[in-house]
């Protein structure tokens, strides 16, 4: 299969294979990836979105996935809008991103506000005109003020996925993260481009309910912050999952949580990683020990170069 000059998320997903067993699920149920493709074969060409700047406004994450597949390679830029964005911040973000369309099913933070047209995109799986190098606009957490917009490309988001992690084709990924945040989006891309399935979380879903649902779908690879994992281990539903791979990121992983995860899931590979929306992926550690090897600091020419200057970790990365 020969990909276009600017491979889109959909063309890369299709190249990874669409067997009937591949699925994506959220709290409302699951859809087969092959059915998404079949439904999109007769879909609109999304000409209304071509070269436009689009904000995605949805409550559930499964419609967000459909919109991403429909719009990458078509839209000029895609602004991912998590549910927890304060409404007061939206006008400034819309202006900065030059948003002129909102993709929505009538839910989510933006909906029909701000006088911008709202359209529900439809995946056109057979369309060949996906030559736009779409910019992916992600928002920082906003913990120190108004969230900032960080511009990524499909290359910068998928480049860190080539990290030597071997994942079987029957893997079922899941994450406590929202796929509209960097940490969740990269896990989604691992599933889409790696030929795997995925179970999506929901912001208002209790950890107990999420873990029961993840277990029912046979989740094999699960990621979240140390805080997510502490809450998970406090529930009886932790016994509902039997992961092969557990990953922590977003916060410092101390030895206590690494030890507790090792005890709860003795057969799982356990890793903790450092990444940020701005710098992308920096490193991951898979030895079940807190901290990271000092040997990672200083060498140049790797996927990410690290320095410690004036007590702060500095990262230079092609992503």
76-80, 161-165, 234-238: least confidently modelled range:
161-165
Asked if residue 134 belongs to a domain, the reply is yes
Asked if residue 212 belongs to a domain, the reply is no
Asked if residue 248 belongs to a domain, the reply is no
Residue 278: which pLDDT band, with cuts at 50, 70 and 90?
confident
User: Are 277 and 263 a contacting pair, CB within 8 Å?
Assistant: no
Asked if residue 55 belongs to a domain, the reply is yes
Two structure tokens written together for 119: 């359209």
Rounded to the nearest integer, the mean pLDDT of the chain is 88
Residue 127: which pLDDT band, with cuts at 50, 70 and 90?
low
Asked if residue 174 belongs to a domain, the reply is no
Asked if residue 193 belongs to a domain, the reply is no
Q: Average pLDDT in the 195-212 region?
A: 93
Based on the structure, what is the number of domains in the chain?
A: 1
pLDDT of 86: 85
pLDDT of 4: 44
The parent domain of residue 35 ranges over 9-17+26-154
Distance CA 96, CA 110 (A): 15
pLDDT of 47: 79
Q: Average pLDDT in the 211-215 region?
A: 97
Q: Average pLDDT in the 300-310 region?
A: 82
pTM, full prediction: 0.91
Residue by residue, DSSP assigns 294-313 as GGGBS--SSSSEEEEETTEE
Asked if residue 78 belongs to a domain, the reply is yes
Asked if residue 308 belongs to a domain, the reply is no
Residue by residue, DSSP assigns 166-232 as ---TT-EEEESS-TTSHHHHHHHHHHHHTT-EEE---TT--HHHHHHHHHHTT--EEEE-HHHHHHH
Two structure tokens written together for 294: 């000092």
Distance CA 48, CA 26 (A): 28
Residue 113: which pLDDT band, with cuts at 50, 70 and 90?
low
pLDDT of 319: 66
Is the pLDDT at 59 greater than 90? The verdict is yes
- Cα torsion 83, 88, 89, 93: sign: positive
Two structure tokens written together for 291: 């901290």
At 129, which CATH number?
A: 3.40.50.980
Residue 2: which pLDDT band, with cuts at 50, 70 and 90?
very low
């Amino acid at each position: 299969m020969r990909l276009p000059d600017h491979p889109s998320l959909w063309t890369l997903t299709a190249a990874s294979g669409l067997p009937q067993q591949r699925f994506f699920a959220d709290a409302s149920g699951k859809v087969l990836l092959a059915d998404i493709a079949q439904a999109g074969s007769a879909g609109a060409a999304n000409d209304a979105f071509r070269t436009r700047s689009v904000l995605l406004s949805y409550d559930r994450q499964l419609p967000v996935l459909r919109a991403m597949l429909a719009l990458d390679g078509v839209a000029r830029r895609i602004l991912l809008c998590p549910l927890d964005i304060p409404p007061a911040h939206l006008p400034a973000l819309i202006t900065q991103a030059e948003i002129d369309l909102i993709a929505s099913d009538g839910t989510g933070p933006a909906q029909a506000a701000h006088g911008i047209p709202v359209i529900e995109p439809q995946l056109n799986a057979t369309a060949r005109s996906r030559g736009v190098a779409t910019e992916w606009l992600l928002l920082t957490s906003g913990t120190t003020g108004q969230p900032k917009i960080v511009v990524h490309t499909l290359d910068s988001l998928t480049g860190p996925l080539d990290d030597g992690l071997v994942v079987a084709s029957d893997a079922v990924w899941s994450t406590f993260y929202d796929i509209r945040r960097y940490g969740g989006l990269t896990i989604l891309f691992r599933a889409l481009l790696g030929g795997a399935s995925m179970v999506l979380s929901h912001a208002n879903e209790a950890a107990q309910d999420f873990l029961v649902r993840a277990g029912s779908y046979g989740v094999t690879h699960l990621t979240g912050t140390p805080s997510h994992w502490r809450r998970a281990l406090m529930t009886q539903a932790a016994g509902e999952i039997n992961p092969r791979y557990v990953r922590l990121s977003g916060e410092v992983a101390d030895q206590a949580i690494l030890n507790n995860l090792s005890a709860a899931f003795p057969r799982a590979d356990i890793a903790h990683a450092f990444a940020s929306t701005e710098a992308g992926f920096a490193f991951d550690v898979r030895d079940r020990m807190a901290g990271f090897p000092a040997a990672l600091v200083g060498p140049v020419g790797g996927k990410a170069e690290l320095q410690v200057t004036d007590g702060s970790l500095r990262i230079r990365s092609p992503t």
